[in-house]
Amino acid sequence: MSNICILTKKKKISKNKVSHSNKKNKIFNKSNFQKFSLWICDFFLKIRISSKSIKILKKCIF
């Protein structure tokens, strides 16, 4: 599975971790992904979306 949210298009962010001697090491921050199931046409669809997307869905549905 990919690490890109379907709804918000969030993905991992690359940045530099800078040491005291100013060496730069590339690190990645991942988004907060959760497993979420939706009821669509008589079956459940399990998807991985960001927690921000879950909040948006719950606000729209309920």
pLDDT tens for 6-59 read: 888 888 899 999 999 999 999 998 888 888 888 888 888 888 889 888 888 888
pLDDT for the residue numbered 16: 96
Question: For residue 1, is pLDDT > 60?
Answer: no
Helix then strand count (H, E) for the chain reads 1, 4
Cα 57 to Cα 41: distance, rounded to the nearest angstrom: 17
pLDDT for the residue numbered 60: 85
pLDDT for the residue numbered 21: 97
DSSP code string of 6-25: TTT----EEEEEE-TT--EE
How large is the C-alpha radius of gyration of the chain? 17
Give pTM, 2 decimals: 0.64
